[in-house]
A and B are shown apart, each in its own frame.
Chain A
Amino acid sequence: MKKYRLKKNIHEGDYWILILTLGISLFGIVMEFSAGYYVSLSKFGDPYYYLKNAALWFLIGWAAFIICSFINYNIYKHIAIPALIFGFVLLALLFTPLGKTINNATRWIEIMNGRITIMPGEIIKTCMILFFAWFYARNKEFASKLPWILFSLMIAGAAFFLIYKQPNLSTAIITVALVIGMMFLAGLPLVYVFGAMGAVAAGIVFLLQYKGGYMMNRVTSFTRPFEDALGAGYQVVQGLLALGSGGVLGVGLGNSIQKAFYLPEAQSDFILAIIGEELGFVGILCLMAAYLALVYFIFSVALRAKDRFGMLLAGGVGIHLGLQVILNIAVVTASAPATGVVLPLVSAGGNALVLYMVELGIVYNVSKQSRYIDIDETESEERSEVIE
């Protein structure tokens, strides 16, 4: 068991979170500019169109981070329920004429004559983190009592249904996984954990037993995108070709060819493929290491949080970020079905960026209020004010 000691300066935040967030978001601007350069030039006649956009959202995102880092996170306890209701209202609004449909999916709400577009599917995740952090912090018992467990699952299920209807399966899955992760973190009894895992395993065995190879084939078809390289597998194939062209060291920043209309969504959902093409496997490995480090430091903030609410907030943000990164990489490497999942802080898209910055700002505030700091076991012997 690690030992902790009291922080000397109670207003000092976790500077690793600051550095990593800044580093990844700056890297995001550079890559958005590079990946979007050709499309931007052809579509808008201005090679800097995406760069300007990315820079603007970078500033807005950092403003949100700074503001949130100064807001005492305990205030969110009072808006947890309204936030959840707000999130659901936004999701419901998609089914009204306010919802905007692009490519057969209704995921956006336009306000102020389309000058601002918001994505309720992204907002609900942040709302879920706030709500369940408050909910499980209120009473430790809620995490272990069946009625409350079912209540939590009902809320997650309702969100899943509404997001799935947009349709946006990946966001729906991430939302549910986020809630389950927070329940697990809050102390869901292991019997339910194993029970759920057993049920999922039994379901898979059952399907394989009765539907056999056909089902298996359907389910795993996403790992063989080249079988339909010009149809359903097109985007993934183009992403893999970009990765393959990059090799170990990449073709060099700005030199991607796949971004020239070959790879759709090169600057948003599939930006990782362009990173792989330009900076190679080494570049991707560095980025993944940065993400893992960020998750690590977020979790360490959760560990040191002064209360359960702070711990659950930071833990929720860490789970959200980790899930998102894993799913995005899985999609780009043909390890998961292709769905629209952004790469946090790097992919183009203002909504998601601002929400991540809000979440990270909250985590930063949690870290500022943390009373403890990690120390080595050897060091602990010498210190007097060590507590367990």
Chain B
Amino acid sequence: MKNNEPDRVNRSRLLFIFIVFAVLFAALALRTAWHQIIKGDEYAQKAAKQQTADSVISAFRGNILDSEGNSLAVSATAHTIWVRPSTINKNGKTPEEITKNAYEEAFAIAGILDMDSYDVYEVITSDKSLCKLAKNVSSEKAEELRKLKLTGVEIIEDSKRFYPMGAFASQIIGITTDDNTGLTGIERYYDSYLSGTSGRLITSTDNNDNTLIFGKSKYYDAEDGYTLVTTINSNIQRVVEEKVAAAKERYAADRVIAIVMNPKNGEILGMAQSDEFDLNNPRSSAPGDEEYYETLTDEEKVSYWSRMWRNFCVCDVYEPGSTFKPITVALALDYGVTNMDEWFYCAGYRDVEDWTIHCWTWPWNHGWESLPYAVVNSCNSVMIELAQRMGRSNYYNGLRTFCITEKTGIDYPGEGTNIIYPEKEAGPVELATMSFGQGIAVTPISLVSAIGSLANGGKLMQPHFVKQILGSDGKVVQNIEPVVRNITVSEETAANMMDILEEVIASGGAGVGGIKGYRVGGKTGTAYKAVNGEYTEEVYTSFIGVAPMEDPSMVILVMIDNPSERYASSTAAVCEREIMQEVLLLMNIQPNYTEEELAQMSSSFTTVPDLTGQTLDDANGILAGRELQCIVSDDPGSGYHEIAVTDQYPRAGTEVKKGSSVTVYYH
């Protein structure tokens, strides 16, 4: 029996095995402690990294409103549909059955999203891990899709920029990127105000990124962006856009731009260029350009878009020509080197050092003319005389007071810089040409701003697009007060300049700019277009107008790039008058007809004016102002529009029917 009982050896060996086990247990306990205590924090951090999802709660981008509170840009909720093809339901035992099920699923999704079911099938059976199936899906459709409870289909809510008016004020408002960051225009300049602060949601998730109900979560609320109230008046903007588009068509021009600014506070009421684009679909061709667009490579398309999105009025420069003359005259008056009653003699040319600079009338001349008539006649000789009297240093100081030497500081990204000879390099010839607006290039906005100061008693206002910033609750966060940048000239000089500009319309070549019942002023301008530093045969015709003269509340600039007709008076001035006429009504400024105008309006006859000595350009304008047609005998064609008229038929003073023709002759 002893043989069958546990013996000493068995007992000691049991004890030995137990000791080995105990030692191993102790070792493993230490090993566990190493992982849990020594390495614990490191592992816990790694674990937290994979266990949490940090999702951004996008802030609602603020709206952009016009001056009357109408929406120009709004944010709307949109949904993006993502698909994980690997997890999409592919039940079925045979390959045929799997294909059939996948196709049925594709058909159901396609039905809701208005897509081609075969396209959907391609996406959900692709071997990618995650694909975007559709974006900008409405809430209703997203809800319908959610009800299908498909695995592998994810619906992400985000906000999408929407422009209710489409192709309207496009260059001003600008566009955003896909992730709602401002890319151009006001959207970009005010991006930090509009974008708001996005919030965060940190949640514990399972390995498939689904949120755990028992996990921890932290929520940081998003702060919505501010709403901007712009100075753009939609009604005025619409008129400007219509007239600009019509002018481009009428004059077969490359481009037409227009700016309407309130000189009293610098508010831009309207600004347009002939090629608008659809803000809701900015990456496409401009209307009517589809065929050309299709031939572009991707790279060319990008530069095509940036040209299309560019705001010429603010970002580009052109030679202002005669529209710059009022600034020279205003400076001369203000420096006291001349006065309103002074008479000048124009010999048709003027010697500047070793050069002879011709007045445009050459080989004829303006003869004796008073200061206002030097502007009416757009006489280059007098401008040179005035600039020489002021001298280089005073003239440049004058340009500085008009802030021509710097940017206007308008609230718009990428403002262009005016091109002026550096003061030290400007010789007498450069000074002379500058005095009549050549050899100098300015942005349209800086010219409007400078002329605007003359219409505002000498106060140079900073032009701006945004006048008020509202919180997401609609309360005013900030009123943007008008900024006086400088005092350019005395009130008296400014008033004199207004008289001169009014005289230009009343008796000068810009008669076409006149509007019955209103006192308006203005100045035409024509300049050769410089391309890559070389002058071409192409011209910019422009017109800057002010109204009403008794209390100017608008300055309008129209510039036409390469029109088919080369007379500013019959192109830019016409377009400007069309705009001004409607803007006056929109601003509720009532007409006040003079007796003469009333008589003219009631009569179907008009008196033929004296045209001798006027340029062909001006003759055209004067006749148009009296509702008469101008026929140039043996039209010299392009490039010779500044030739002076020597004779006319019918003679001056003849009573003719409105709409009849007057033929003009030149030598």
A contact residues vs B (CB 8 Å cutoff): 38, 42, 137, 140, 181, 184-187, 240-248, 254-255, 257-258, 260-262, 276, 280-281, 284-285, 288, 291-292, 295-296, 299, 302-303, 305-309, 311, 315, 318-319, 322, 325-326, 329-330, 333-335
Contacts and interface: CB of A to CB of B under 8 A. Distances in A.
Q: A interface, by DSSP: helix, strand, loop or mixed? A: helix
Contact of A243 (B3, B4, B32, B204): B32
B588 interface: no
Given A187-B10, A302-B6, A333-B35, A247 B215 contact: no
B47 A242 contact: yes
A308 B17 contact: no
Given A254-B214, A261-B208, A288-B29, A243 B14 contact: no
A276 to B, nearest CB: 6
A243 B29 CA distance: 12
Interface stretch (B18-26, B90-98, B280-288, B446-454): B18-26
Interface string B44-75: 10111011000000000000000000000000
25 contacts: A42-B206, A181-B17, A187-B7, A240-B39, A241-B43, A241-B50, A242-B47, A244-B36, A244-B39, A247-B36, A257-B215, A260-B212, A262-B206, A284-B29, A285-B29, A288-B29, A296-B18, A299-B14, A299-B15, A303-B11, A309-B4, A311-B10, A315-B14, A326-B21, A333-B28
Nearest to B51: A257
Given A243-B32, A257-B47, 4 more contacts: A42-B206, A240-B35, A292-B25, A334-B35
A335 B41 CA distance: 20
Contact of B207 (A260, A319, A334): A260
A105 to B, nearest CB: 23
A261 B35 contact: no
A214 to B, nearest CB: 25
B13 interface: yes
B291 interface: no
Given A38-B206, A288-B29, A315-B14, A244 B6 contact: no
Given A257-B212, A257-B215, A260-B207, A243 B35 contact: yes
Contact of B4 (A260, A302, A307): A307
A157 B51 CA distance: 45
A245 B24 CA distance: 24
A241 B47 contact: yes
B548 to A, nearest CB: 74
A276 B32 contact: yes
A318 B22 CA distance: 12
Given A184-B13, A242-B47, A295 B18 contact: yes
A326 B35 CA distance: 16
A187 B44 CA distance: 48
A302 B14 contact: yes
Given A241-B43, A242-B47, A260-B207, A335 B28 contact: yes
A335 B205 CA distance: 29
Nearest to A326: B24
B41 A244 contact: yes
Given A261-B207, A262-B206, A187 B14 contact: no
Given A186-B10, A244-B47, A258-B47, A333 B18 contact: no
B214 A255 contact: yes
B10 A292 contact: no
B32 A281 contact: yes
Given A326-B25, A329-B32, A245 B5 contact: no
Top-8 shortest CB links A-B: A244-B43, A260-B206, A261-B207, A241-B47, A311-B6, A281-B36, A322-B21, A247-B40
Contact of B9 (A187, A257, A296, A333): A187
A260 to B, nearest CB: 3
B616 to A, nearest CB: 82
A258 B52 CA distance: 11
B294 to A, nearest CB: 46
